[in-house]
């Protein structure tokens, strides 16, 4: 039983994506959320965010395949203090409801705590009611504000 548990842990690894090749491997999953981005724009934006914004991109692998992806930035604001902002968070459409999202978001929370950040925050589209239930009911997040946007 212990050996089976160790094998399952090894099969479900979380790794940071740093190289262009690694980042591109996550594109098919990320594109399920960020449908407006082509591969080149995606790669360019991730590279720039990593360089200028301390953006971190992690993937949860199951049997060597990416099952879920999260991108986040450690930040400091007067409102939240030291916190982690989850910018991008998606589980492969074919692999939902298997605990991958919970595991990956828990990883982000643990990363935040280990790096002396006080909280994890994110926004979610108004239409994503299933995601809202996941954040509030399963993950214990509180709805604390609305996010407003205006294109310029």
CATH number for 59: 3.40.630.30
Q: What pTM does this model have? A: 0.88
**pLDDT exceeds cutoff 50 at 6:** no
Mean pLDDT value across residues 112-116: 97
Count how many domains the chain has: 1
Query: What would the pLDDT profile of 62-113 be if each residue is shown by its tens digit?
Result: 999 999 999 999 999 999 999 999 999 999 999 988 899 999 999 999 999 9
Mean pLDDT value across residues 41-55: 97
Block residue for tokens 């090894």? 10
**How far is 96 from 89, CA to CA, in rounded Å?**
12
> Is residue 103 assigned to a domain?
yes
**pLDDT exceeds cutoff 60 at 129:** yes
């Amino acid at each position: 039983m212990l050996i089976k548990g160790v094998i399952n842990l090894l099969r479900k690894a979380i790794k940071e994506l740093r190289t262009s090749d690694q980042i591109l491997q996550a594109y098919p999953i990320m594109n399920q959320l960020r449908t407006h981005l082509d591969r080149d724009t995606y790669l360019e934006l991730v590279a720039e965010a990593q360089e200028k914004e301390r953006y971190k991109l992690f993937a949860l692998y199951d049997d060597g395949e990416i099952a879920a992806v999260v991108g986040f930035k450690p930040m400091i604001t007067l409102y939240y203090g030291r916190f982690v902002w989850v910018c991008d968070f998606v589980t492969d459409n074919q692999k939902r409801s298997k605990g991958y999202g919970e595991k990956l978001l828990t990883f982000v929370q643990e990363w935040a705590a280990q790096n002396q950040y006080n909280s994890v925050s994110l926004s979610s589209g108004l239409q994503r009611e299933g995601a809202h239930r996941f954040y509030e009911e399963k993950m214990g997040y509180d709805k604390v504000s609305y996010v407003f946007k205006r294109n310029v």
